[in-house]
Amino acid sequence: MSEQSLLLGQTLAFTGDPFHLPIEDSARHERRGAVLVADGRIADTGPADVLRARHPKAAVTDYGDALITAGFIDSHVHFPQTAIIASWGKRLIDWLNSYTFPEELRFNDPDYAAEIARLYLDLTLANGTTTVASYCTIHPESVDAFFSEAQRRKLRAVAGKTCMDRNAPEGLRDTPQTSYDQSKKLLAKWHGVDRLSYAITPRFSPTSTPEQLAAMGALWAEHPNCLMQTHLSEQTDEVAWVADLFPQARDYLDTYESHGLLGSGGMYGHAIYLTDREKARIKEVDAALIHCPTSNTFIGSGLFDMGGLKAAGHRIGLATDTGGGSSFSMLRTMAAAYEIGQLRGNPLHPAQLFWLATVGSAQSMRMDDKVGNLSKGLEADLVVLDLAATKATEQRAAQANDFWESLFPTIMMGDDRAINAVWIDGKPTR
Ligand code: GUN
Ligand code: ZN
């Protein structure tokens, strides 16, 4: 028989969507729970005493009062922006030109790309994030560096070459043909290898000609099971620029739609200034919107309409958008989502925040049958959270009247000190 591990602690699993069901019907919390891990998968969950009796030979790791959940899933990041995170004072287009593009130029060096991929994944794992969807740079070397490092760590991960053929500096531009050829080659090399998947990645409409968007659309049509990730309606200046660049387009989404880049595997980052037509089309094809709250405040973009979009039935993931976002932590990202909800008169429940950072992001990446929840059969990527990791959270949690009240202080004030352990593919990482 294969080796079995039994993890004991508080446990949290989702049985439904807390935006659509009462909290008590959508989440299951065990005060003293257990997770059985075997062959890299979650083999059983339930009360600790029941699972101990059922699996007497399993090797026990007792995490005490700590909370065991699915690892966090960050559905929109730029690993090459690790070194320029928290760069001061610019809004989107100036921020790209001043900080991002000069840094991304460095990724033609495979050694530098490998160094930053290592550093980035060290930081995300230290923050309890077990799966990310990352943009790379225009350089195929950056994609190889990211996937090689993710593969070495046995991570489930998504990434793609970021394609741009205009409005970017010399050295960061490809062409419709080279972007197609290089993306296709990388897709063939990495998609479906171990736990890795390729995402076709046109950066955003301002940095692609219509010809490049069409080339990306053609590649997606050849590989419809791949994800496609891009940016949509993040800042008002950007939306106006897109209208200038694409005078024929009905709206920003149409610049993608008319080039074959609207579909169910589409992941559209930010999506703050959507028209009714755009919302209706995205809903119709069941594409995903990715909420990047620390980025939307840090770059000064605006307030995502979580309440309205969830009520309309949209598929929504949560993401740091590192390094436009100001954190590697999905706890900090949940806190920012809460604050933006408050500014819109819609305080999100801790269950909703946690659901977004796990199941919601997994759904947005079409991976909720593989990761993102504490349920039998899913891959065993887990995070163990100490809800009393600092004096601040400890004293507040001590006053809590129920589980959600004990969790919320760690959502709002927690950071990597709250990450007690991380399990990847059924094994502890440290
Ligand atoms: N829009 C196009 N590229 C980017 C990027 O790198 N970060 C963010 N936040 N928005 C973008
Ligand atoms: Zn982004």
The C-alpha atoms of residue 303 and residue 291 are separated, in whole angstroms, by: 10
In tens, the pLDDT along 406-420 reads 999 999 999 999 999
Q: For ligand 1, atom 3, name the residue with the nearest CA.
A: 203
Q: How far is the CA of 117 from the centre of ligand 1 (A)?
A: 18
In tens, the pLDDT along 137-180 reads 999 999 999 999 999 999 999 999 999 999 999 999 999 999 99
In tens, the pLDDT along 396-408 reads 999 999 999 999 9
User: From the CB of 76, is ligand 1 less than 6 Å away?
Assistant: no
Rounded mean pLDDT, 292-321: 98
- The domain covering 4-71+373-428 belongs, at the CATH homologous superfamily level, to Urease, subunit C, domain 1 (2.30.40.10)
User: From the CB of 324, is ligand 1 less than 6 Å away?
Assistant: yes
Which stretches within 46-109 are classed as H helix? 48-54, 92-95, 101-104
339 Cβ neighbours under 8 A, 6+ residues apart: 293, 297
pLDDT value, residue 430: 74
User: From the CB of 234, is ligand 1 less than 6 Å away?
Assistant: yes
For domain 72-364, give the CATH number.
3.20.20.140
Is residue 46 helix, strand or coil? Answer: strand
The C-alpha atoms of residue 215 and residue 193 are separated, in whole angstroms, by: 24
The C-alpha atoms of residue 249 and residue 235 are separated, in whole angstroms, by: 18
Q: Work out the percent of the chain whose per-residue pLDDT is above 90.
A: 99
The C-alpha atoms of residue 214 and residue 212 are separated, in whole angstroms, by: 5
In tens, the pLDDT along 367-389 reads 999 999 999 999 999 999 999 99
Q: Do domains 4-71+373-428 and 72-364 have the same CATH topology?
A: no
pTM of the predicted protein model: 0.98
pLDDT value, residue 1: 54
Question: Is it the case that residue 6 has pLDDT exceeding 90?
Answer: yes
Residue 83: what residue type?
A
For 37-47, b/e burial (b = at least 16 CB within 10 A) is bbebebbbbbe
Which stretches within 286-390 are classed as H helix? 293-298, 306-311, 330-343, 350-355, 361-364
Closest CA relative to residue 154, chosen from 373, 428, 356, 366:
428
Rounded mean pLDDT, 352-362: 98
Mean pLDDT for the chain?
98
Rounded mean pLDDT, 31-53: 98
User: From the CB of 231, is ligand 1 less than 6 Å away?
Assistant: yes
Mutation test of ligand 1: which of 75, 82, 85, 92 has the most ligand atoms closer than 8 Å to its C-beta? 92
In tens, the pLDDT along 219-271 reads 999 999 999 999 999 999 999 999 999 999 999 999 999 999 999 999 999 99
Residue 361: what residue type?
S
Strands (DSSP E) found in 84-194:
129-135, 157-160, 162-163
What are the boundaries of each domain within the chain?
4-71+373-428, 72-364
Helices (H) and strands (E) in the chain, counts: 18, 16
Q: How far is the CA of 324 from the centre of ligand 1 (A)?
A: 7
Rounded mean pLDDT, 262-287: 98
Which 8-state DSSP code applies to residue 379?
A: B
The C-alpha atoms of residue 403 and residue 158 are separated, in whole angstroms, by: 33
Is residue 322 helix, strand or coil? Answer: strand
Question: Is it the case that residue 341 has pLDDT exceeding 60?
Answer: yes
Q: For ligand 1, atom 7, name the residue with the nearest CA.
A: 324
Q: How far is the CA of 234 from the centre of ligand 1 (A)?
A: 8
Mutation test of ligand 1: which of 87, 107, 234 has the most ligand atoms closer than 8 Å to its C-beta? 234
Which ligand 1 atom sits nearest the alpha carbon of residue 321?
Answer: 9
